[in-house]
Structure 1
Amino acid sequence: MKLSACIEWQFAEGNEGLGDRIRAAHAAGLDHAEFHLWRDKDMAGVAEALAETGVTLTGFCVDPRRSIVDPAQHEEFLGAVRDTLAAAQKVGSPPLIVASGFNREGVSPNEHFAEAVKALRAAADLAEAAGVTLVLEPLNDRIDHPGMYLVSTTLGLDLIEAVGSPRLRLLYDVYHSRVMGEDMKAVLAGRIHLVEHVQVADLPGRNEPGTGDLDFAAIVADLRALGYERAIGLEYRPTLPAEASLAQTRDALGL
């Protein structure tokens, strides 16, 4: 497994733009990077830094974020997918992260599910045509995202199976999953082939692995036992300077 720096938060000291953060991550020995929204970023600078360093993006978000469970937002959601697919093709066509949007008051779970499948199926059609993978991310509603619809890994995988597209996969975030009280081995057993990317942060605090209560050596071992060997995204808020933060993270993960 290789590590992917979340340059939204990491390598920020003295590096205002993402291009310079990519260069700093590469200088620190990392070959992968990811970030959040793209419309407020210098994407030309990102493309230049990727070409210069050989770093590969593991993902950024469909922007702007719109709901997959609210039919009133579906057209805006698909417009955001189209725009983000076009942006992605200029930086190596990495996976694109999809958040669900919020629960609709008075709407049944079945209706939420049906609307989500409808929106994701249309988005997957666009992704298939572009040759880009969309990754659906369950978040937590207990600390960071109150009211969010998709907070369950099992539900996320159910949605992906219902859509049935090779260009729709899951982003599994260890931090969000643990906040929701999930057992990683239980929720991913038999379905790891649907997971495109994994992100980590410690709990509590959402900081570097090794700063909280999670046993990341065991988590990495369990991921390997499940069959996951892709990159690990370091989506944490650092408490240390970049090099020290990365060293602590490598030690905690055993990578």
Structure 2
Amino acid sequence: MTLPVSPFTLAADAEMLYLDRPFTERVARIAERGFQVEIWDWSAKDIDALTATGATFSSMTGYLTGDLTDPDGIDALLTSARESLDVAAELDCARLNLHGTGLDGKGLPVRPVEVATPAMWLTAADTLRRVAELGEAAGRVFTLENLNLAVDHPGTPFARAADTLALVRAVDSPYLRMNLDLYHAQIGEGNLIELCRRALPYLGEIQVADVPGRCEPGTGEIHYPAIASALDDLGYTGVVGLESWARDDSDAALDAFRSAFTPGADAAVAVTPPA
């Protein structure tokens, strides 16, 4: 019988899987398994070696320093966004990811903010318009990712999915979209299917991991097959990226991810005779 095929483009994050391998081998293994590849900070990586793997790169970090609201931070963000676009051209990477502010090596904001003021909101939207213009000139899309404040990224401005969506909607450019991270959204807001519905016109990508633990689908409380079915019903056909640790084995984590985001996969496996 013909096994079902996912209606989505599936990608996986090489920063969090196959941790016992050199980074370039992680990328190659994910690509061998039939997934597109996502990476974070590109500055310490061998770009030529990554290109030589033949992998399709779905997403990479779109800045190195800076933020959306401080004058010096804005200049730094725009400068490193231009540098990131040059690397994205080498990798032919379609999307470049942003956050509300720069994050340090532990994922904490370099400029923590308790409350974003109205002036900060206006400045952030203006900065993101300038980022979108850079993306348009280069023919690539920047995405703004929501984060969670309770566990991983306390003090990050514009972190909630509702905040990120509001900024992307305000800019309203096809070169600035939302990276809806459902792991972060579950911790911060919940109501994930309705959130997907509201964000649908502005989505550039969806990222997933289970809660708690940030491991692959099926290891926590989120019923990802139901979310996959809802996204399919909504007509979403874009990228779903696994940004998770592997609970035990990275191959098994990718299998679980593919199954969760391939409606009908469980039923097909159940009736497939043994080889």
| TM-score between the two structures when normalised by the length of structure 1 | 0.90
Matched, 1:16 2:16: no
Mapped partners of 1:212, 1:96: distance in 2: 28
What letter corresponds to residue 22 of structure 1 in structure 2? V
Report the CA distance between 1:107 and its aligned residue: 6.4
Report the CA distance between 1:127 and its aligned residue: 1.0
Matched, 1:27 2:32: yes
- Answer yes or no: is the 8 Å Cα contact 1:85–1:130 preserved in 2: yes
- Answer yes or no: is the 8 Å Cα contact 1:133–1:169 preserved in 2: yes
Show CA shifts across 1:188-212 (max 9, x none).
3354121011111000000111111
Give 1:170-185 correspondences, 5 Å limit: 170-185=178-193
- Answer yes or no: is the 8 Å Cα contact 1:4–1:58 preserved in 2: yes
Secondary structure of 2:78 counterpart: helix
Superposition CA RMSD, Å: 1.9
- Answer yes or no: is the 8 Å Cα contact 1:135–1:196 preserved in 2: yes
Show CA shifts across 1:43-94 (max 9, x none).
11111112xxxx3211010231421122331000101101000110001142
What letter corresponds to residue 16 of structure 1 in structure 2? P
Show CA shifts across 1:125-184 (max 9, x none).
111111110000011111000101122222212211221222000001110000102322
Mapped partners of 1:65, 1:140: distance in 2: 20
Q: Residue in 2 aligned with 1:111?
A: 119
Mapped partners of 1:84, 1:195: distance in 2: 21
Mapped partners of 1:37, 1:93: distance in 2: 13
Mapped partners of 2:27, 2:234: distance in 1: 30
What letter corresponds to residue 110 of structure 1 in structure 2? P
Structure 1: 5+ residue stretches without partners? none
Q: Residue in 2 aligned with 1:39?
A: 43
Mapped partners of 1:96, 1:220: distance in 2: 24
Mapped partners of 1:178, 1:144: distance in 2: 13
What letter corresponds to residue 109 of structure 1 in structure 2? T
From 169, 172, 176, the equivalent of 1:161 is 169
From 221, 224, 230, the equivalent of 1:216 is 224
Matched, 1:5 2:12: yes
Structure 2: 5+ residue stretches without partners? 1-7, 102-108, 266-275
Mapped partners of 2:118, 2:12: distance in 1: 37
Report the CA distance between 1:104 and its aligned residue: 6.1
Mapped partners of 1:189, 1:65: distance in 2: 32
Q: Residue in 2 aligned with 1:63?
A: 63
Distance verdict in 2 for CA 1:161–1:39, change over 3 Å: same
- Answer yes or no: is the 8 Å Cα contact 1:137–1:170 preserved in 2: yes
Distance verdict in 2 for CA 1:180–1:49, change over 3 Å: same
Q: What is the number of equivalent residue pairs in this alignment?
A: 248
Runs of 4+ in 1 over 4 A off after TM superposition: 102-108
Secondary structure of 2:31 counterpart: helix
- Answer yes or no: is the 8 Å Cα contact 1:197–1:232 preserved in 2: yes
| TM-score between the two structures when normalised by the length of structure 2 | 0.84
